[in-house]
Amino acid sequence: MRQQESPEAVELLERLRRLRAARGRPTLERISRSTGRVVSTTTLSRLFSGTMLPSASVVEATVEALVANTSTPEREEAAVREVMALYRRAYDAQGGPRPGRRPSIGPGPEGRLQEELWSLIRSRGFTLDHLASQLHFSKSRVSEMLRQPHRLTPDLVGHLARVFEMPPEPLLRAVELAAQAHRAAEAAGPYEEASPPPAAPPGAGPAPDAAEGGDAQDVAEPGSPALAEENHRLRAELRCLYDAEARARAIAEDLAKRLEREREVTQAAQRAAVAAKDRTALLAKEVERAEEEMWRARVQAVTEKEARVEAEKLADALLDALHAHVTYRGPEDGVPAPEDAFIRAVAGWLPGDIVTVVSGLRDKGRAAFAARIVEEAVATRSVPDVTALALALLDAGPAPAAEGTAPADGS
């Protein structure tokens, strides 16, 4: 039934909105889960937007979900009674039938199943025509199904569960209980079927209230408190099942997220280990190359040291020979002939060897003799050889000076 802008309906809507705001403005999906999917998000949207005044069971389930665990049980129950009193005044102001009137429901498990089916139909805002079109049945067959729900097959229960967007297990259990009760009644004696209830909530014409979204109310008839209590218990069990399913789904999602995070951390650690291994291999290669270079440098140093020692020995031997020759023959004018031959021979050597001999002569005090070797090399060698000799002499130290020449500092 669509709401009209009556003061009673506005007061009810404001009260519901205040309850939702006090709960932190939960989403319609969250409220629907809290009701155990008894109330769909579409029905909740129509209720909070003020476009529809749904059944009493929808309003009651919504209020119970909004006030649950917010205060003491006594205050929560008082809040539910207050809202339901506002609902009855708003419903009366709409000019519809009194809340509490509905088709007669049989006792026992089958009656509770009928009660639950009507509650699901009204909470979704369905009419019998709409439900028949969803199930691809005729309206008469749907009415027969509601009159004798113990005859529901598992396939039909599965179709109903999909239409009502709920798991099929609660309905299958209720159908099994109704079928067992029906078989027990038949075994106890001749079965007399109760007068079938009307296929839709009472009212003028083909369910006018249902067409507007407000079917017959999901409350017990006057004088049937036990039936109302059993219906309330069944809806509470259904909500508990939905809450448990929602908690299990939330736990599974949390575990999946944790697993994904652990997998990402493991993959990052593996990538870091591979990178560290690669860096270690590169460092090992660098160390190996450095060791090879050090070995080559040591070999070269030993070779150069040995060459220098050999050159020094050669220079010493030549000097000794020259000294013996000069001592044997005595001084002559100019340079003795063997010394000239020695100078010409050394001047033809490699620049490095020349520098070694020149350094040895200079260390022995024969700077003039060393200077003559350099002059002979400069006069007889090519320009590149002279350049190499000059560079080698610069690396070896100051150029040799003739004997008797005073140093630059006057010492």
How confident is the model over 268-300, as pLDDT tens digits?
A: 999 999 999 998 898 898 888 888 888 888 888
Answer whether residue 250 shows pLDDT above 80: yes
149 DSSP 8-state letter = G
Asked if 8 contacts 89 with a C-beta cutoff of 8 angstroms, the reply is yes
* Long-range contacts of residues 140-143, Cβ cutoff 8 Å, at least 24 apart: 140/199, 142/199, 143/199, 143/200
83, pLDDT greater than 50: yes
Model confidence at 265, in pLDDT bands (50, 70, 90)? Answer: very high
Integer CA distances (angstroms), 283 to 271, 279, 292, in order: 18, 6, 14
27 — pLDDT class (breaks 50, 70, 90): very high
Q: Residue 12: in which H helix or E strand, if any?
A: helix 7-22
One-letter amino acid for residue 348 of the chain:
G
pLDDT at res. 204? 33
pLDDT > 50? residue 206: no
Q: What sign does the dihedral 167-162-150-123 (CA atoms) show?
A: positive
Residue (of 371, 99, 308) closest to 222 by Cα position: 99
For residue 55, pLDDT over 60 is answered with yes
Triad 243, 73, 237: Cα angle to 5°:
30
Question: What's the pLDDT tens digit per position in 317-338?
Answer: 666 655 655 444 444 444 456 6
Find all residues with CB under 8 Å of 152, minimum gap 6, and list them: 145, 160, 171, 175
> Per the confidence metrics, is the pTM higher than 0.85?
no
Give the pair of three-digit tokens for residue 176: 């099994």
Least confident of 87-101, 118-132, 384-398: 87-101
